Amino acid sequence: MSQIPETPEAESGHAPGSVADAPSDNWVDQFAPVPARPYLRLSRADRPIGTWLLLIPCLWGIALAAAADSYRMWDLWLALSCAAGAFLMRGAGCTWNDITDRRIDALVSRTRSRPIPSGQVSVRQAVVWMAVQAALAAVILFSYNGLAVKLGIASLALVAIYPFAKRFTWWPQVFLGLAFNWGAVLAWAAHAGTVPAAAIALYASGIAWTLFYDTIYAHQDREDDALIGVKSTARLFGSHTGWWLRLFLVATVLLMTLAVLLTLVPKRDPLQLVVALAGVWAFGGHMVQQMARLDVDDPASCLIEFRSNRDAGLIAALFLAAAAWL
């Protein structure tokens, strides 16, 4: 492994080789063995928000599918394995992203400290690390039913395409949404063996949510992206970003409401329906609060509100899970 270079972050109190936008108190920089740190940084283990955002739609799918036909012991394995799978596939996806974006990352102030452009990991080492993570995730996937396995394999196409999306479309966040929320459909299929209309509505809700939070995230790099010609919804929307974020917020809430109605109205259980819908609207309320605090011209504000979407998504997950127990 390449020697870890001293970086400006190290001089300012961060661990040597740390990534610029990672929390200074992250567990990788503090506790992980030094030889493993560059690889864990490559997987974004020092920034767990992405794992949460990949896991949360899986939890939605498990909970709403269980609300339709009750929980089983199998669902405990689904939840635990989805958590492990989200960590591994997010790591593999981020490694692939950094391999394909290594030249772009070297030109952007926020990303030039990442392991590949900073010289901590070679491209060959990154490819091997990506393969290891994907192989471990495959072991988990093949414990599921046939439909879920097929859906998991199909998701690889989305993962492969996403890093290139910003080169040919102003809407790369759509491709991220398609990939990051696939777990809602996969987890539903792993629980029920089918993918009903409600699962598709839930998936669409997650895509709208991703457009919301990743547009906020993309505003951190708006100026650098403009200089190097990288496309994003943040650049596309510009001063109209607030209007678009409200549109994505409304779409997220309405589509999740539709998923709940399609699932629970046939059961004719008012309490179950009220609890589930309360979670959807509390989720939307959290997004409204983000909008009230957000300053898209302040990168620090964008990062704070982006990260707060973990809590927003978990609100919906907890209420849907509670509704399934009723």
Per-residue pLDDT of the chain in tens (326 residues, 90 and over written 9): 333 333 334 434 556 788 877 888 899 999 999 999 999 999 999 999 999 999 999 999 999 999 999 999 999 999 999 999 999 999 999 999 999 989 888 888 788 889 999 999 999 999 999 999 999 999 999 999 999 999 999 999 999 999 999 999 999 999 999 999 999 999 999 999 999 999 999 999 999 999 999 999 999 989 888 888 889 999 999 999 999 999 999 999 999 999 999 999 999 999 999 999 999 999 999 999 999 999 999 999 999 999 999 999 999 999 999 999 99
**Sequence-separated (6 or more) residues with CB below 8 Å from residue 135:** none
Nearest to 69 by CA among 276, 266, 274, 316: 266
68-120: pLDDT as tens digits: 999 999 999 999 999 999 999 999 999 999 999 898 888 887 888 899 999 99
pLDDT digits (tens, 9 = 90+) for 184-221: 999 999 999 999 999 999 999 999 999 999 999 999 98
Count how many Cα atoms sit within 13 Å of the Cα of residue 12 in the half-sphere of its side chain: 8
What's the CA angle centered on 54, arms 53 and 57, to 5 degrees? 85
Question: What's the confidence (pLDDT) of residue 61?
Answer: 98
Encoded amino acid at 154, one letter: A
Judge contact between 191 and 66, C-beta under 8 A: yes
183, 57 Cβ separation under 8 angstroms: yes
Which pLDDT belongs to residue 19? Answer: 85
pLDDT of residue 17: 80
Name which of 61, 89, 78 is nearest 156 in CA terms.
89
Q: How many residues are given for the chain?
A: 326
Q: Which helix (H) or strand (E) holds 27?
A: helix 27-31
Task: Identify whether the C-beta of residue 63 lies closer than 8 Å to the C-beta of residue 324.
Answer: yes
Q: What is the DSSP letter of 118?
A: T
| DSSP conformational letter for 32 | S
What per-residue confidence (pLDDT) applies to 6?
A: 38
Tell me the C-alpha distance between 144 and 149, whole Å: 6
pLDDT of residue 160: 93
Q: Report, in angstroms and rounded to the nearest whole number, the Rg of the chain calculated over CA atoms.
A: 20
For residue 18, what pLDDT is reported? 84
Instruction: Note the pLDDT of residue 21.
Output: 75
Residue 203, amino acid: Y
